[in-house]
Amino acid sequence: MKIIKVFMIGACLLGMDVFLHELAPGNLWCPPLLLFFAVWLGTRQPSLACLLVLWMLTILEDGLSSTPVGTGLARLGTLYLLSGMVAQKLSVQRTFGAVVLGASTCVLDLICWAILARLGFPDMALNEKLSTLMLPRLVLGATCAPVVFWVLDRINGRSASVDRVSGLRLDASKSR
């Protein structure tokens, strides 16, 4: 049941993400909600089931945004695993941690995207695109990510079970 709930939350965020991009096509200031979801999932629910949920969602994202299938998971899967590793070093439940995490994952996402583009689409004018996207993504990551994490925590009802000192989930500690 829990994993279905996580999938539904992700699907809603994906829907909102696509909706926002349809609403303002080409707008650089649309928040990458699925990216925030992947990072949130990596810091709160680092499990194989969640990775599979993310895989399904990224396939849907690729389909909905008409990009080659696999692009989404290559970026977001990497970030999911990285954020899972970072979570033990950084208190992502605190605002500062969430801001840093949001901004850095947005930049990392761009880097992943650049590597992918360099491998798969060498003709693309990458430098111009990256420089255009960098500032909006940094700002969006720093401002929107903490809000999205907070909302997702509330929705998932797991905020209470988080150790605010260590920033790690209690159930995750137990699982270790």
Partner 1 sequence: MPVAVGLSRRTLVIGFCLITGSICSAVFPSAAITDAINRSVWSLCVPIQSFIGSQAAFVNRAWHDVARLSSVNAENERLKHQVEQLSVLQVRVDRLKRENRRLTQLLEFGETRKDLRLLAADVRRRSNSPYFRTIGLDIGASGSAVEVGMPVISSHGLVGQIRRLTADYAEVLLVTDPRTAVDVVLEKSRVRGIAVGSGDPREHLMTLKYIDRSTIVVEGERVLTTGDDGRFPADLLVGVAQSKTSSKSSPFQGAGVRPSASLDDLRAVYIVLGTTGLSPDGGQFVGGDR
Note the residues at the interface with partner 1 (CB under 8 A).
15, 18-19, 22-23, 45-48, 51, 55, 58-60, 62-64, 66-74, 77-78, 80-81, 84-88, 116, 119-120, 168-169, 172-173, 175-176
Residue closer to partner 1 by CB (options 7, 138) is 7
Residues 88, 169: contact at Cβ < 8 Å? Answer: no
Residue closer to partner 1 by CB (options 71, 105) is 71
Residue among 108, 112, 118, 117 nearest 138 (CA):
108
Q: Closest separation between CB of residue 113 and partner 1, Å?
A: 10
Look up residue 128 and give its two tokens.
């111009």
Q: Closest separation between CB of residue 28 and partner 1, Å?
A: 17
Residue among 60, 84, 81 nearest 71 (CA):
60
Instruction: Please enumerate in sequence order all residues whose Cβ is within 8 A of that of 59, keeping only pairs 6 or more positions apart, or say none.
Output: 69, 72, 73
Residue closer to partner 1 by CB (options 70, 136) is 70
Residue closer to partner 1 by CB (options 2, 135) is 2
Rounded Cα gap, residues 49 and 6, in angstroms: 10
Q: Closest separation between CB of residue 45 and partner 1, Å?
A: 8
Q: Closest separation between CB of residue 25 and partner 1, Å?
A: 9
Look up residue 107 and give its two tokens.
């930049």
